[in-house]
Structure 1
Amino acid sequence: MNETQVTLATHGGRTGAGALRTAVVGAGFMARVHAESVRRAGGRVVAVVAPHREAAAAVGAERSYADLDALLSGDAEVDALHVCTPNVTHAGIARAALAAGVHVICEKPLTTSIADAEALVAASAGRIAAVPFVYRFHPMVRELRARLAAGEAGIVSSVSGSYLQDWLASSTDQDWRVDPALGGPSRAFADIGSHWCDLLEFTTGDRIARLSAQTVTVHERGDRTTEELATEDLSSVHFTTVGGVVGTLVVSQVAAGRKNRLHLEVSGTEASFAFDQEDPERLWIGRRSESTVLLRDPGTLSPGAARYARLPAGHAQGYQDCFDAFVADTHRAIRDGTPVEGLPTFTDGLRAVRVTDAVLRSAAADGAWVEVAP
């Protein structure tokens, strides 16, 4: 048995030197994205857990199971499990997979409570447990991170941005996420605001320390009243970081015309930087003397950013490429037994749950300033 085989055996894998055997729980859009990235990383999607056999074909799995127990106690022998189900089910599924010795990739939010997230972090010791904060894997995000780490911004004084979508802009728009019994106590912020906050903290190396938040539910949906449908359509957050930086964030799923616009701007005394997820091939750099746009070109990027530039300059990369890189790094971590630098883990998932909890506590107290648990 070679070193790779020993590592896989130690971490619950049973595939030896061959392709990692993965299973997906769920059969919706995100399940299909995960499965495609597994295949592009050279893995096998050996099983899907879903109530209908047709799900196996939709996800592209080799076989289907009616429930998680049947999968974990059966002959699938999976190395990694991808959790792509409604938010309130994440904790139970991930906990069962970890107990069975399986590595876990769990959609965010990791859980809908801090206690459950803390328990999963503890249970994941000795396993690779990752959360797909995939915007970290845009090459220009890595370039932004490298330039901030090198001090190019000077003194960072403020950060600002938004994450705007319109897929719930109409009162007739429906999805399981609008139901707190399935999605948890937060919708817009937990779903997409958590991405923005993770990106802020990942690129700057600074952390949100205190915040003041407002949340708004714009639409009553279906037969439920606004009170019964307690999740928010949008949120506005003011915050300060551990390093003393002032920040503002607007998150909305009812912003007509915005499909998936995550925008982050970091303002410094020497230079400012802006990244727009809907225009991910460019990084705006502003200086007092001039402003420039840096294009994604593997030949001119820092080594950490160039590593994720899969295509030559002028050949656009996008969301699926980020997901592919995330899954490829997760597979590499499973084989090596240690996380790849920058891989978002369950600890990062716990961090996002804590920030979301602070937002909800502040909003419930009419925007009072609250501390974010370190």
Structure 2
Amino acid sequence: MLMNQVTNLLKIEHPIIQAPMAGGITTSDLVAAVSNSGGLGMIGAGYMTPAQIREQISEIKQLTSMPFGINLFVPNEFNAKEEEVKSTNHLLNPIREKLNLPPTDHVELPSFHDAYEKYVEQIKIVIEEKVPICSFTFGLPSKSVVAELKQHNIMLIGTATTVKEAIEVEKSGMDIVVAQGSEAGGHRGSFMNEEQENLIGLMSLIPQVADNVNIPVIAAGGIMDGRGLMASICLGAQAVQMGTAFLTCIESGAHQVHKEAILHAFEDETVVTRSFSGKPARGLINPFILNMREYEKDLPEFPVQNSLTQDIRKASGSQNNKDYMSLWSGQSPRLSKNQSVKTLIESIISDVKSKIVKQ
């Protein structure tokens, strides 16, 4: 049931992909549980070192013999302007004080060269470890990287938030495109324009992308159950990618405070913000976002801002204080549940089966 081009390409039973959420959420248990339940588990490896990636791949292989994938951030040129960093630290220091952190004037900033070197190593490990599926966010890999990965029969997935980006994803040689609607939690996958006009709802985005590319489409953004899966397929997608629904699962590595916040949130409590990382991302509104709101336009770009807020996010988490954590969430938190991955996937499939029978 629901077998199609995507399930065949990815060698999975159900057209359900667990979104590759970076930052420790995609534990080996979560990834393996999704793959063992007939979906596709994905490692969110954007922030991971090559050694951490290798270790996690090895753990997952012990837990499942089913296919799983990995997601990488495509590094983009960025500038760390000294004045911007200084003025942002000035804004962040009162928050640090509240968390009993020392004020900071200097933070070791990332360099594009280091980010690119890490990315090259990550690609190397994906090939060496024979990971069958690799997806990309924040841009597209070069032609040479695409050719190298294809030489090793690795399925490639790109992320798009507009039709224009989806067309570029196809042109670059990707096998599948994820159409990410504005409802999606976490970072926007935009790479051609990161302004507000990229906030296209999934219901509008899927059919327009499906009509303009020849590669299969995966729908992402606010999908939590069988209804979302069926609606996406009706609109032209062949599978769904779900983040928030898996984030609150038992196997997820999300902080308990983060899980609880989503489980008790309403649909009007999420906003798109640059405050935490310098890149637009959707999460639950909290005092940090409110404090930084008027300065958002002047904050450094990703990954500079991400480095500047790292100590705040870490301290906030260790103090179980949700006020200054990045509580990424899609727009359907009322549909979230504290359950096992197996229960979530089984309920989606039985929901779809019962609706097909009723029709």
> Which TM bucket (shorter chain)?
0.3 to 0.5
Structure that is richer in strand per residue: 1
TM-score with structure 2 setting the length: 0.34
TM-score with structure 1 setting the length: 0.33
